[in-house]
Amino acid sequence: MARLRFSKMHGIGNDFVMIDQRTNPTDLTPERCRLLADRRLGVGCDQIIGIYAAKHSNAVVAYRIWNADGSQAGQCGNGARCVAAWVQREAPGKVGQVMHLESPKGVHRAQCMADGQVQISMGVPEFTPRNIPMVGFADMQDSYALALPGFPEIHFGAVSMGNPHAVVEVDDVAGMQIEPLARAVQTDIHFPDSVNVGFAQVISRDEVQLRVYERGAGETLACGSGACAAAVVLMEHGRVARSVTVRLPGGDLQIEWPQHGQSVLMTGPTAFVFEGEFDFEGQGL
């Protein structure tokens, strides 16, 4: 196998290995993804993103996502913004032009702004339990109760943003140890495909503090789909306005959801870190 060329990028600290799969694609097996994501033995990242030729006529590229543990993901908001910036780099004279990206869950409108911000349309939130997916609840509820061994009963909102999210509102997100509870939620039988678990603290009508424990990656500095999920759940509960700043450990995202049935808009920065090559043969893969 030839050396694998890649770009290292991040969106407010949520970092990615970006691989152009349009010519001479590499077989991104779970083992190879785990090695690439390893922060000591590989490149180091939260997710690997492969960029492919689009099948949808309206899209400029398609992309697929692998988590650090080698599992595949349906969507990644910060990753989608990085894909848009990666594509924009090939056509720098077209800053501000709308493009469409084909994710595993559909086609998304994206726009790279002159100030370096990237806005992406993340799709219409899905609250129906079977489509999240979540089992054991026949009907959609504003809030779900879950009893977990060793923890007090928790109440959460649930939504799919192309991937499943459980959102727990808390009083002090900075002071929490989120991993034990998040892992218990992720392995609960109500979530057959596991779930991203967000812990959200409402600061004001226009501001939310958020930490997210992602399935397949653990706690990340930022989660774009998690920011969208937290915002729409809190909007549904009447806790925040329809446009809100979500503050994550790695930085801020602006989330807008005009109304039911419309797509959620996410705006935030991206960054190129470095270009590199990786030798799988030297690692025995």
Q: What is the pLDDT of residues 75-108, one digit of tens each?
A: 999 999 999 999 999 887 677 889 999 999 899 9
Residue 49, domain member (yes or no)? yes
Q: Which residue has the higher pLDDT, 57 or 163?
A: 163
Positions of E strands within 21-93: 47-52, 61-67, 72-73
Active site residue 82: no
Find out whether 77 is annotated in a ligand binding site. Answer: yes
Q: What is the pLDDT of residue 91?
A: 80
Q: 206 Cβ partners below 8 Å, 6+ apart? A: 240, 241, 243, 244, 245
Residue 3: its pLDDT value, please? 86
Tokens representing residue 7 in the block: 């770009």
Same domain, yes or no, for 202 and 246?
A: yes
Query: What are the CA-CA distances from residue 231 to residues 22, 48, 186 (Å)?
Result: 35, 26, 20
Q: Are 109 and 208 members of one domain?
A: no
Q: Is 67 annotated as a binding residue?
A: yes
Q: Does residue 121 lie in a domain region? A: no
Instruction: Give the integer Cα–Cα distance in Å for 150 and 181.
Output: 9
- What's the rounded Cα separation, in Å, for the pair 223 and 13? 9
Catalytic-labelled residue, pool 33, 45, 82, 223? 223
> Looking at the domain assignment, is residue 124 inside a domain?
no
Rounded to whole angstroms, the Cα distance separating 230 from 113 reads 25
> Is 120 within the bounds of a domain?
no
Distances (CA, A) of 251 to 11, 189, 196, 247: 9, 33, 19, 6
14 has binding-site annotation: yes
Domain hosting residue 160, numbered range:
129-262
d(CA 141, CA 257): 19
Does some domain include residue 187?
yes
Which residues have CB under 8 Å from 53's CB, separation 6+? Answer: 22, 61, 62
Let me know whether 250 and 277 are in one domain: no
Cβ(76)–Cβ(63) under 8 Å?
no
Higher pLDDT: 281 or 21? It is 21
Residue 275 annotated in ligand binding: no
Does 160 carry a binding-site annotation?
Answer: no
Task: Using pLDDT thresholds of 50, 70 and 90, give the confidence band for residue 1.
Answer: low
- What pLDDT does 214 receive? 96
Give the pLDDT confidence score for residue 95 in this predicted structure: 78
- Residue 59: pLDDT band with limits 50, 70, 90: very high
Q: pLDDT (tens digit, 9 = 90+) per residue, 34-57?
A: 999 999 999 999 999 999 999 988
Mean of pLDDT values over 237-254: 98
Tell me, what's the pLDDT at 159? 98
Q: Is residue 267 part of a domain?
A: no
* Pair 139, 182 in one domain: yes
User: Quick check: 8 pLDDT over 70?
Assistant: yes
Name the pLDDT band for 2 (thresholds 50, 70, 90): low
Q: In this structure, are 167 and 246 located in the same domain?
A: yes
Q: Is 131 annotated as belonging to a binding site?
A: no
Question: Does residue 102 sit in the same domain as residue 222?
Answer: no
Q: Taking residues 63-68, what's their average pLDDT?
A: 97
Residue 67 in domain: yes
**125 band by pLDDT with thresholds 50, 70 and 90:** very high
Q: How many domains does the chain have?
A: 2
Catalytic residue among 33, 45, 76, 112: 76
Same domain? 136 vs 219: yes
204 is in an annotated binding site: no
Q: Which residue has the higher pLDDT, 138 or 47?
A: 47
61 shares its domain with 95:
yes
Q: Which residues contact 13 (CB under 8 A, 6 or more apart)?
A: 220, 221, 222, 248, 249, 250, 251
User: Within a domain: residue 162?
Assistant: yes
CATH number at residue 106: 3.10.310.10
The answer to whether residue 76 is catalytic is: yes
Structure token digits, residue 283: 């690692």
**Residue 79 marked as a ligand binder:** no
Q: What's the chain's average pLDDT?
A: 95
- For residues 279 and 252, membership in a common domain is answered with no
Q: How many CA within 13 A on the CB side of residue 252?
A: 6
For residues 262-273, average pLDDT: 97
User: Is residue 157 domain-shared with residue 90, that is, in the same domain?
Assistant: no
Mean pLDDT of all residues in 131-156: 94
Q: What is the reported pLDDT for 26?
A: 92
